[in-house]
Amino acid sequence: MFAFIDDPEGPNLLVVTAMAAVIFLMSAPIYLSKIAPSLTGFKRTSAAILLQIAITAAFYFALR
């Protein structure tokens, strides 16, 4: 997502930090919760990563 920010000076550090925090905070409940006890180990990590990819794609298309 940050690679597609069209700014000649590069992405703003504040924007990068805030978006990374938002993505982390939205995926943390899935990774840290006990809602789905069948998700353990690699499955839990994969679910969190896939959720982060989906959130990033949604932000990219919403802010485009």
Give per-residue pLDDT as tens, 5-63.
666 776 677 888 888 899 999 888 888 877 777 777 888 888 888 989 999 889 888 87
Phi, psi of 45 (to 5 degrees): -65, -45
Confidence (pTM): 0.71
Amino acid at 63: L
Q: Which residue has the tokens 């809602």?
A: 35
User: DSSP letter string over the chain?
Assistant: -GGG---TT---HHHHHHHHHHHHHHHHHHHH--S-TT--THHHHHHHHHHHHHHHHHHHHHH-
pLDDT score of 54: 92
What is the token pair recorded at 43? 């499955």
